[in-house]
């Protein structure tokens, strides 16, 4: 972003964009208040924090990050709008401002923003691996607590985005160590998922395939993340395609694939119809191959020194760029079976039973789709942790009465 206004109009593109950022900042803060309050105040009877599904833990963690981080971005955007429109000089050196300040405001939120995206996807992985492995989540308490370690650390790593900028050596070292530490709670989660599928009874359904593919991509992104955290390597590859490759592995390879897993998993609950497995698997295969073909070539490009955000590049970068473009086309094509599946399943898919995946969870004690006020007056009391696969123990008091009601319906 800059405070240059080549059009010279009072109302201009950058001004509109900044207004939009400020407005969505405010709205997302309100959204975060809503999520946090709901999770803290409106849990089912008996659902203590350590009986909460991991998805709720990660949603709580992500929205806490929004609450802390977004004011910085929103304020930063407002200040830039003032510089652009009313001639203040928060960032303008001529008036005593500093453009690096904007980078700090931006990244103070925008690094945690990645965790806002990926934390709920960690929640999805933690929900789905137990269902399709028929085993409890390995180390539930550790996975839950790790979410909040990620929140705490995620707030003190932002300078790793601006290592080559005007920052002092001590900051480079401090933020390198804090960034490295994030690998630890993240590792706890990855190992917990491996522990969950280990010796399980795996069902390679579409949602499970998306989870496994997402986990694979996420671990790769973790490896390149460690490389980016080390200052000397980052000095070379920052602002190159290496960074673009890294975050696409996180955002598309892990987050989008996790979201697809969630859509296939909860589709019957949302719509009352079953999605088609065949189309789902085709969708997974195209997505997995397309994402890797699209984003892997970005790493050699960055190592060779191709800057990001360019409109053209030197001929020596053509080979990997062509491969990446082929992957991008494949990713585009991968959406076709997905849309086809969603539309046709919704219209004429097989009627979904209340609990098609034999999953444990409050939502699976309701018909598909649930009635408007889900349990109405008959809210169940939770008596166990959320992933009792293989234990044979009920999740809620009088579970049989709920299951019976579903059968009679």
Partner 1 sequence: MTNAPPSSVKLPAVVGLALAVGALIALSWWMGQQAYHWLPVQASTAAPLVDGLFSFETALGTFVFGGVSAVMLWVIVMHRADKYDESDAVPIEGNTKLEVIWTVIPLVIVMGIAVYAMRVGETLGSVGPMEHIHLAQPAEDQGGYPGDRLPAEQIEVVARQWSWEFRYPGAKVSSTELHLAVDQPVTFRLVSEDVIHGFYIPAFRLKQDVIPGRAINFNLTPTREGRYRLRDSQFSGTWFAANQADVVVESLDTYQQWLKQSASQPLQAGISDAVQQYEDRKKLKSPGWATVVPAPPPQVNVPGSNTLPHDA
Report 19-78 residues binding partner 1 (CB under 8 A). Answer: none
Residues 155 to 174: which contact partner 1 by CB under 8 A?
162, 164-166, 168-169, 172-173
Measure the N-to-C terminal CA separation of the chain; round to a whole number of Å.
Answer: 57
DSSP string, 253-320: IIIIHHHHHHHHHHHHHHHSBPPPHHHHHHHHHHHHHHHHHHHTTHHHHHHHTPBSS-S---GGGHHH
Rounded Cα distance, 373 and 19, in Å: 37
400 binds partner 1 (CB under 8 A): no
> What's the min distance (Å) between Cβ of 41 and partner 1?
29
Coil, helix or strand at residue 240:
strand
Q: Which 332-361 positions form the footprint of partner 1 (CB under 8 A)? A: 358
Best CA proximity match to 54, nearest among 142, 144, 183: 144
228 vs 148: CA distance, rounded Å: 23
CB of 61 to partner 1, least distance (A): 18
How far apart, in whole angstroms, are the C-alpha atoms of residue 39 and residue 398? 24
**How many Å apart are CA 44 and CA 52, to the nearest integer?**
10
Task: Please enumerate in sequence order all residues whose Cβ is within 8 A of that of 168, keeping only pairs 6 or more positions apart, or say none.
Answer: none
Site for partner 1 in 75-104 (CB under 8 A): 93-94, 98-100
Residue from 29, 67, 68, 183 binding partner 1 (CB under 8 A): 183
Closer residue to partner 1 in complex, CB, 280/302: 302
Is 283:265 a contact under the CB 8 Å cutoff?
no
Rule CB under 8 A: choose which of 75, 300, 353, 370 binds partner 1.
300
- With binding defined as CB under 8 A, does residue 239 bind partner 1? yes
Q: Judged by CB under 8 A, does residue 394 bind partner 1?
A: no
Rule CB under 8 A: say whether 318 interacts with partner 1.
no
Identify the residue among 17, 148, 191, 346 touching partner 1 (CB under 8 A). 191
Q: Which of 16, 30, 310, 318 binds partner 1 (CB under 8 A)?
A: 310
- How many residues touch partner 1 under the rule CB under 8 A: the total is 84
SS3 354: coil
Stretch 124-153: interaction string toward partner 1, x if CB under 8 A: ---------xxxx-xxxxx-----------
| Interacting positions 196-215 with partner 1 (CB under 8 A) | 197-204, 212, 215
């Amino acid at each position: 972003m800059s405070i240059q206004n080549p059009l010279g109009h009072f109302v201009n593109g950058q001004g509109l964009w900044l207004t939009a950022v400020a407005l969505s900042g405010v709205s997302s803060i309100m959204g975060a208040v809503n999520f946090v309050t709901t999770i803290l105040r409106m849990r089912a009877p008996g659902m203590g924090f350590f009986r909460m599904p991991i998805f709720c833990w990660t949603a709580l963690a992500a929205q806490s990050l929004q609450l802390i981080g977004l004011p910085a971005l929103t304020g930063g955007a407002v200040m830039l709008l003032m510089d652009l429109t009313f001639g203040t000089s928060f960032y303008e050196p001529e008036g005593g401002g500093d453009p690096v300040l904007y980078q700090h405001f931006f990244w103070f939120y925008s690094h945690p923003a990645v965790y806002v995206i990926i934390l709920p996807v960690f929640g999805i992985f933690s929900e789905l691996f137990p269902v399709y492995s028929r085993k409890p989540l390995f180390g539930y308490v550790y996975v839950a607590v790790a979410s909040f370690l990620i929140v705490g650390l995620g707030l003190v790593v932002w300078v790793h985005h601006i290592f080559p900028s005007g920052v002092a050596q001590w900051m480079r070292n401090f933020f390198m160590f804090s960034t490295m530490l994030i690998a630890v709670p993240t590792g706890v989660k990855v190992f917990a998922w491996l522990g969950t599928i280990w010796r399980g009874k795996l069902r390679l359904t579409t949602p499970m395939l998306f989870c496994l593919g997402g986990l694979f991509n996420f671990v790769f992104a973790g490896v390149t993340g460690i490389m980016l955290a080390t200052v000397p390597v980052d000095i070379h590859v920052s602002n190159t395609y290496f960074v673009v490759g890294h975050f696409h592995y996180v955002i598309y390879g892990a987050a989008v694939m996790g979201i697809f897993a969630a859509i296939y998993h909860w589709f019957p609950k949302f719509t009352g119809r079953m999605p088609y497995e065949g189309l789902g698997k085709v969708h997974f295969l195209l997505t997995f191959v397309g994402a890797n073909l699209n984003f892997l070539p970005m790493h050699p490009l960055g190592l060779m020194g191709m800057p990001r955000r360019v409109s053209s590049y030197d001929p020596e970068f053509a080979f990997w760029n062509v491969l990446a473009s082929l992957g991008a086309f494949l990713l585009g094509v991968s959406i076709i079976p997905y849309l086809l599946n969603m539309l046709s399943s919704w219209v004429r898919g097989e009627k979904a039973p209340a609990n098609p995946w034999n999953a444990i969870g409050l939502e699976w004690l309701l018909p598909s789709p649930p009635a408007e006020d889900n349990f109405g007056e008959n809210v169940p009391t939770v008596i166990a942790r959320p992933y009792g696969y293989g234990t044979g123990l009920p999740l809620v008091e009088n579970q049989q009465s709920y299951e019976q009601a579903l059968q009679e319906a």
